[in-house]
Amino acid sequence: MFSDLPTVVSRLYVNAGFLNQPRALADTGYGQGELLVTPLQMALVAASIANDGVLMQPFLVQRVTNPDGQVLYETQPRELRRTMSSATAATMRSHMGAVADYGFGAVVSDFVPGIAIGGKSGTAQHVEGATPHAWFIAIAPLENPRYAVAVMVESGGEGSSVGGTLAGQALQAAFETE
């Protein structure tokens, strides 16, 4: 899937038979259990929600030009597959908007006043007794998203605080380049 960016495959489970346990299946459904994902994969989840349920091919370089401005190379957008229905993606954007507006991840909106953001926090336990990893995904602007962000801070604590703050700062930087 990733021609110019090596990555590992996400995993729903590590141990065979794990998902045969009802508790394990429930844990995996809300992002716990043995689920393993990368920040890039979570950015693609956010981007698919933003893109009406369609997953696009990720790439590192959009365009290469020479000093005269002539385009030497340009990546063309490429659809990989539909990951969810348009209706499901719209519902997800609505729920993500609530998270960023008045939910646990409201801090993300502090960095881009006047722009509706969608977000989802995550707190991933990894070693019993250790500080969990902080996760946050965000899309903006909510009504016609152009940006998708995924933040993961190892042993960062609650995703809604440190993750939301960093996602807000990343979106702020993106909007400042426009």
Residue 62 maps to a domain: no
Kindly tell me the number of DSSP H helices and DSSP E strands found in the chain.
4, 7
Is residue 68 scored above 80 in pLDDT?
Answer: yes
DSSP 149-163: EEEEETT---IIIII
Q: In terms of pLDDT, which residue wins out, 95 or 37? A: 95
**Token pair for 117:** 């953001």
Count the domains in the chain: 1
In a domain, 14, yes or no: no
pLDDT of residue 151: 97
Which DSSP letter does residue 98 get?
H
- The DSSP bridge partners found for residue 119 are 138
Contact 128, 100 (CB under 8 A): no
DSSP 121-174: EEEE--STTSPPEEEEEEEESSSS--EEEEEEETT---IIIIIHHHHHHHHHHH
The answer to the question of residue 29 being in a domain is no
Whichever domain contains 44, its CATH number is 3.40.710.10
Q: What is the extent of the structural domain holding 137?
A: 38-55+84-176
Provide the 3-class DSSP secondary structure of residue 57.
coil
pLDDT in tens, 85-95: 999 999 999 99
Residue 113 included in any domain: yes
pLDDT of residue 5: 67
Question: Per the domain annotation, does 12 fall within a domain?
Answer: no
Q: Which two tokens stand for residue 114?
A: 């006047």
Instruction: Tell whether 2 is covered by a domain.
Output: no
Query: Is residue 68 situated within a structural domain?
Result: no
pTM of the full structure: 0.87
The tally of CA atoms less than 13 A away on the side-chain side of residue 103 is 18
In a domain, 27, yes or no: no
DSSP 94: H
| Pairing verdict, β 71-74 and 133-140 | unpaired
Share of the chain above pLDDT 70, in %: 97
